[in-house]
Amino acid sequence: MIYLNLVNELICALCWGITIRLILIRHLNSETKVARFNTFAFVLMVVNLVVVLPIFAFLLKNLSIQSVSWLSSLVVATIDALSTFNLILFCIFSCCTRLQKCPTTVQDFLVLGAAVKHGQVPPVLATRLDKAINCWKTHQSAKIIVSGGNSTESKRI
């Protein structure tokens, strides 16, 4: 049982480590790569929900409550369940915001910037700009304001 607990915690850590890397470190230059990485992160979370969390439930039920393995299983399972729930809520919120229509009255659009490396616009910024342009087509009297700038210059000010 102790080895099952350690292996399960390792699988949990790998699933979350890779998922966090996929979310935070975006060096993707095409929508197909973004879709592939998002699909991979989704598969890791399904593995987490279908394999890791049920094994934690099994371990918590069958290990002695006074053991260190039970306590570590409880801590990791709690963090894992809360993190997975939060990621699911984030994905739902993200999908809902992408489906939102343009507001009926608009004065200006503010597009938040994102790091542009080697002259290439990252998919996050491209999506924001596309959304602003699509809304601007409906409200052409509005201005589009793009934020951001060179971070080395802003440090000197």
**Pick the residue with more confidence: 113 or 41?**
113
Is the predicted pLDDT of residue 146 greater than 80, yes or no? yes
SS3 112: coil
Q: What is the DSSP string of 75-139?
A: HHHHHHHHHHHHHHHHHHHHHHHHHPPPPSS-SEEEE-----BTTB--HHHHHHHHHHHHHHHH-
Is the predicted pLDDT of residue 151 greater than 70, yes or no? no
What predicted TM-score, i.e. pTM, was given to this entire model? 0.60
Mean pLDDT of 55-67: 88
pLDDT at residue number 157: 41
What is the average pLDDT value for the chain, to the nearest integer?
80
